[in-house]
Structure 1
Amino acid sequence: MIPLADRVIHATGWRRWLVAFAAGAVGALAMPPFGVLPALAVSLTPAVWLLDGSMKAGPSRRSGLKAAAGIGWFWGFGYFVAGLWWLGAAFLVEADQFAWALPFGVLGLPALLAFFPAFGFALARLLWLPDASRILAFAFALTASEWLRGHLFTGFPWNSPGMALGQNLWLMQSASLVGLYGLTFMALAIGSAPAMLATGHTRRERWMAPGLAAAFLAAMAAFGAWRVPSEAVANVDNVRLRIMQPNLPQDAKFNPRNRDAIMRRYLTISAVPAAEGSAPATHLIWPESAFPFLLHRDPGSLAQIATLLGPSSVLVTGAARMGEPLPGEAVGKFFNAIQVIDDQGTVIGSYDKVHLVPFGEYVPKFLDAAIRAVGLRQFVHIPGGFEPSESRAALSIPGLPPVAATICYEAIFPGQILPDGPRPNLILNVTNDAWFGQTPGPYQHFAQARLRAVEEGLPLVRAANTGISAVIDPFGRVVKSLPLGVEGAIDAPLPVEISATVYSQFGIFVLTATLVICLMALVARRRPRIIPGPGRTRVNAA
């Protein structure tokens, strides 16, 4: 055993927690926009050694589980603080109202999210054996905790470890088979395998797990290189997209006093002539919540849009929508929506957001009264917050194939973005990341949306207020894009979809079968094995 590993394994007290926090923080470097893949191994290897040390935490199983959960919490706290610090930027958009809460966003949310890896580390400790099988136990347990993080309490699968592999064009192709959580299992197993180099009892034990991890990573890259065609995919006939990126700061975007200036800006950028020889746009796309007013109830703005659009072209835009008031109510419910407007200025289609952002777009009902009692509200200036749509339906847009519409962070949920019914032909994502300025947040959001295209085998069209706006083909290749913090418009064709991927058809079953087989193998290794005969020797004790 090398001295470094020995010191980590035998660390106690605050030194143990400090090592765990630092190891987790290093792991954030593997996420976008940095993409330093070796940082994953630098983060996960000490985590395995720390769990080795939890075996010496006390004479009882309970004390060992408590030590493992503590290690997992500090590791997760470091990971989420380093990876999500940019959330604090949202509290400074209206600093006079929300700056006081900045520590709760920067430290409070990571502290809560850290309970998921705490659970994962404790589960891994239950399955722990002092051999190479603990690498699989670690990967299995943390993948289970990541799945829980993505589903419990509305879910928040942001920066799942699988994104370390999900931002490289070749490595991300495996998501077409196993999705984000499958990538997470692979990333955790590959990233933690180097721990064996310092703790294996024999040369074979030291090198087998890292060697298999390296071979598996190479196989993933080879599969990706084989899967991505050398030529561009075909484009949908008679479709020409124009995506407008206004690059408006958030404090200006939701100020009703700026409504006329905002509309002029949208119209001016959208009306810039296309490149010489390019066909006029058939579909103009604007980002999420594009107006500080209700567009569908503003005839003047609809008339301006009709003047902008060419014959038979349409506008697809994010916009708040108010439903009709119920009997006895003064106003209707508000929805964060995507609306389709034709060249006559008529709203001809709409999609209402299903997965709202807690505290950003609504306040959970059990906290609403308490929060209002002290004069607080959600970030978005909507009376009572937005209401979620009850079901996810395809968005019908003239001239386009069926659309899977997503608004903002709806695009980060693997396996949850397609509407009920027949498979759509493209994914549309409109978003407003201006809340987070020039930080890693918008890059992370873009990378996660891009991975959905690979998982589902569908092109992605993305319009973002401040960026990153793009058209992405079903293999995750960026056809055309506008960088973060740039005003402008891009003209691009719409790539065709490819056949439904293995993940889109059987994803949850593939992942479940893999994890069940892994768990069965780990449990079987922990069972005592008895050699028949006199004395019956116990070979492997649980």
Structure 2
Amino acid sequence: MMMTLRVALALAAGLLLPLGFAPYGQAWAPVLGLAVIFALIAPAQRPWQVLLPGYLFGLGFAGLGVYWIYHSIANYGGGPLAGAIATGVLVALFALIPMLALLLGWRAMRRHSTCMVLMGLPAAWVLVEWVRSWLFTGATWLSIGYTQIDTPLAALAPVFGVYGPGLAVALVAGALAWWFLRPLSLRLLAPVLMLGVFTLAGFVLDRTWSVPSGDPLSVSIIQGNVAQSRKWDPDESADILSEYLSKSRAVLGQSLIVWPETAVPAVYQQVEDWLETLAADAQGAGSTLILGTPAADPAGEGLFNAVAVPGEDTQFYYKRHLVPFGEYVPFRAIAGGILDFVGTPLGDFSAGRSAEPLRAAGHAVGVSICYEVTFGTEVLDALPGAEILLNVSNDAWFGQTAAPWQHLQMARMRAVETARPMIRATNTGVSVLIDAQGEVSDQGPLFEAAVIEGEVVPRQGMTPYMRWRDWPMAGGSAALLLIGTLLRRRGVRLFRDV
């Protein structure tokens, strides 16, 4: 195949993958995109024949998948030039990840193209997704399993986590690539049958993994829609707090009243009297107030991005997984003031340590803040004790881009994996109530002040994923690669090559 055509196909395949994610929702797109790049990589005889198309594939994937980074930095960081440079660098770095996954699968089973596309490349893709979820603080965005949240393959998630649907997508893509390499009519049965098997498995596994642990709780989410330009302006803080207080008083009587991430425009201890007065009034009306706020640790260990349940014995959850260059600046001591244009206006946050659920309305609530919800195993740390999941976020940074919808899609997957309902309260949207099957039951508008009301049913029980976490998928993918490598070295061929 001419190099120009290979390059064009690789880039197009990369651009196809993000269409599977929200808000586009084309669940077939990752299957086709991976199938094309697998078919392009399989016949390669030299590493550079993998690296070039693999990197271009990664550029398309990352460029369309996380283009919204530019909006965040250009509008709320260092301006358009800083946004363009930072986005270019981050996309260029992210593109290395799919390239390395393709190189790993090719290297393990080179010159065995059939085994490579049917086993090696799918296994390498999922294994690298898992590794990047924890390496260098972790990067979980754009894991392909999320694209199947509205298909029968989502039923694999309570058993295997997001990498279960992800491996299914990659294996079907590999079977389709096998047909691309030599389009015989009988070979087309392979991806069709494989898709049918995974779909059937999804229907078999589509069961109730948890049971109600109490009556439905009424919920009001206060979506303040506070512009970033106002949020940390000292002259605006009293007005912002008054807006939240008045909206909360209007819904007293609801079981839970929830404010989004850092809704309190000051350190909690600075406005503690106001908040505890509201909490006392809420308690008298049968409500529990849960709010996002910066908080100073009583032990003097620093400033935290927190969720508080104010009252006589105020409870706090401190965010454990901080965003580099968003909530703290690595190497600030070395770089001095060069990096002061990034990070939180209040200064660097410290990381919390405990995932202990908070008690609210008589139930255990497992909390995650912002992008913590994208880390499946970190959400599990509050389980099985948590009966309800809560995610608070401020997605104002993303503007009218795909990012708020991608973030919501990942939150929905956490509900599916854990068979727990989730309350998701955000500053500008998308604020939602999600049931234990991952379906959105109530949803607010984007970039409008609103009060989203609905009900959640507390639940208890264990899904297999809570017990096994990601080890079956990570171990299984690694085993497939190891077996393929050993067979290749011994000259054993499981399938006839194309």
TM-score (norm 2): 0.90
Q: Distance in 2 between matches of 1:107 and 1:491?
A: 40
Q: Is the 8 A contact 2:43 2:113 kept in 1?
A: no
* Aligned amino acid, residue 50 of structure 2: A
Q: Which runs of 5+ in 2 are unaligned?
A: none
Q: CA deviation at 1:407?
A: 0.4
Q: Distance in 1 between matches of 2:395 and 2:411?
A: 13
Match of 1:130 among 78, 91, 113: 113
Q: CA deviation at 1:433?
A: 0.5
Report 1:299-448 matches (<5 A).
299-302=272-275, 305-306=278-279, 309-311=282-284, 312-324=286-298, 333-342=302-311, 346=312, 348-364=314-330, 367-374=331-338, 376-383=340-347, 385-389=348-352, 391-419=353-381, 423-448=385-410
Q: CA deviation at 1:169?
A: 5.4
**1:356–1:299 CA distance, 2 compared to 1 (3 A):** closer
1:522 equivalent in alignment to 2:495: no
Match of 1:144 among 127, 133, 152: 127
1:54 equivalent in alignment to 2:54: no
Match of 2:17 among 27, 45, 48: 27
Q: Is the 8 A contact 2:380 2:466 kept in 1?
A: no
Larger radius of gyration: 1
Q: CA deviation at 1:196?
A: 2.4
Report 1:85-484 matches (<5 A).
85-94=67-76, 97-126=78-107, 127-128=109-110, 129-131=112-114, 133-165=116-148, 167-168=149-150, 170-200=152-182, 203-204=185-186, 206-223=187-204, 226-227=206-207, 234=212, 236-237=214-215, 239-273=217-251, 280-302=253-275, 305-306=278-279, 309-311=282-284, 312-324=286-298, 333-342=302-311, 346=312, 348-364=314-330, 367-374=331-338, 376-383=340-347, 385-389=348-352, 391-419=353-381, 423-484=385-446
Q: Is the 8 A contact 1:529 1:540 kept in 2?
A: no
* Aligned amino acid, residue 319 of structure 2: K
The secondary structure found in structure 1 opposite 2:114 is coil
Q: Distance in 2 between matches of 1:307 and 1:512?
A: 48
Q: Is the 8 A contact 1:474 1:498 kept in 2?
A: no
The secondary structure found in structure 2 opposite 1:185 is helix
The secondary structure found in structure 2 opposite 1:243 is strand
Residue in 2 aligned with 1:6?
Answer: none
Residue in 2 aligned with 1:60?
Answer: none
For each residue in 1:126-149, what CA deviation from the matched residue of structure 2 results, as whole angstroms up to 9, or x when unmatched?
113132552321101111111121
Q: Distance in 1 between matches of 2:395 and 2:487?
A: 48
Q: CA deviation at 1:431?
A: 0.6
The secondary structure found in structure 2 opposite 1:85 is coil
Q: CA deviation at 1:451?
A: 0.5
Q: Is the 8 A contact 2:216 2:457 kept in 1?
A: no
The secondary structure found in structure 1 opposite 2:219 is strand
**1:252–1:347 CA distance, 2 compared to 1 (3 A):** farther
* Aligned amino acid, residue 413 of structure 2: L
* Aligned amino acid, residue 323 of structure 2: V
* Sequence identity (%): 27
Q: CA deviation at 1:304?
A: 5.4
The secondary structure found in structure 2 opposite 1:257 is coil
TM-score (norm 1): 0.84
Number of aligned positions between the proteins: 493
Compare relative contact order (CA 8 Å, sep 6+) and give the higher one, 1 or 2.
Answer: 2
1:11 equivalent in alignment to 2:2: yes
Q: Is the 8 A contact 2:329 2:343 kept in 1?
A: no
For each residue in 1:39-84, what CA deviation from the matched residue of structure 2 results, as whole angstroms up to 9, or x when unmatched?
22331222022203422xxxxxxxx223313322221121011011
Give the CA RMSD over aligned residues: 2.8
* Aligned amino acid, residue 54 of structure 2: G
Q: Distance in 2 between matches of 1:530 and 1:182?
A: 28
* Aligned amino acid, residue 387 of structure 1: S
Q: Which runs of 5+ in 1 are unaligned?
A: 1-9, 56-63, 275-279, 327-331, 532-538
* Aligned amino acid, residue 58 of structure 2: G
**1:191–1:130 CA distance, 2 compared to 1 (3 A):** closer
Q: Distance in 2 between matches of 1:474 and 1:314?
A: 22
The secondary structure found in structure 1 opposite 2:2 is coil
For each residue in 1:266-305, what CA deviation from the matched residue of structure 2 results, as whole angstroms up to 9, or x when unmatched?
123223358xxxxx21221100011221122224532652
Q: CA deviation at 1:435?
A: 0.8
Q: Distance in 2 between matches of 1:308 and 1:107?
A: 50
Q: Relative to structure 2, which stretch is displaced further, 354-363 or 193-202?
A: 193-202
For each residue in 1:295-316, what CA deviation from the matched residue of structure 2 results, as whole angstroms up to 9, or x when unmatched?
2222453265247525153211
Q: Distance in 1 between matches of 2:151 and 2:388?
A: 19
Q: Is the 8 A contact 1:462 1:469 kept in 2?
A: yes
**1:494–1:41 CA distance, 2 compared to 1 (3 A):** closer
The secondary structure found in structure 1 opposite 2:351 is coil
Q: CA deviation at 1:181?
A: 1.7
The secondary structure found in structure 2 opposite 1:471 is strand
* Aligned amino acid, residue 227 of structure 1: R
Q: CA deviation at 1:483?
A: 3.2
Q: Relative to structure 2, which stretch is displaced further, 347-356 or 395-404?
A: 395-404
Residue in 1 aligned with 2:34?
Answer: 44
Q: Distance in 2 between matches of 1:481 and 1:149?
A: 31
The secondary structure found in structure 1 opposite 2:423 is strand
Q: CA deviation at 1:227?
A: 2.6
Q: Relative to structure 2, which stretch is displaced further, 29-38 or 100-109?
A: 100-109
